[in-house]
């Protein structure tokens, strides 16, 4: 089950389950689109992979047991452990490589 983290791990912006600017990597690291574009350069600072739009979990169960009510978003806030300088240096190494080739 995809963990819907409640915040951008870079700037701590709230990202509710229906946020259309939430981005994730394959390990579910979560960032806002602005940080992905302006700070991270589409390079996850944790794994080096690319980031894509996080899916929005349906609020209503259109199939039995499958909805945000049945599988709520996480409430645990997560923050990256790297400084802005470390993030910039890491992103510079990999931003020129397409995510599918990293």
Model confidence over 14-72: pLDDT tens digits? 999 999 999 999 999 999 999 999 999 999 999 999 999 999 999 999 999 999 999 99
> What pLDDT does 81 receive?
96
- Could you say which DSSP state residue 24 is in? E
> What pLDDT does 101 receive?
97
> What pLDDT does 4 receive?
97
> What pLDDT does 38 receive?
97
Whole-model pTM: value is 0.92
**Residue 102 neighbours by CB under 8 Å, 6+ apart:** 48, 49, 50, 94
> Across the strands, what pairs with 7?
14
Measured between alpha carbons, how far is 84 from 102 in angstroms, rounded to an integer?
A: 21
């Amino acid at each position: 089950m995809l963990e819907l983290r409640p915040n951008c791990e870079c700037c701590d912006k709230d990202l509710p389950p229906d946020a259309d600017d939430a981005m994730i990597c394959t390990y579910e690291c979560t960032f806002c689109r602005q940080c992905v574009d302006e700070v991270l350069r589409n390079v996850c600072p944790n794994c080096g992979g690319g980031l894509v739009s996080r899916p929005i979990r349906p609020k209503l169960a259109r199939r039995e047991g499958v909805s945000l009510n049945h599988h709520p978003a996480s409430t645990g806030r997560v923050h990256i452990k790297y400084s802005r300088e470390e993030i910039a240096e890491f992103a510079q190494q990999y931003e020129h490589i397409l995510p599918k080739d990293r």
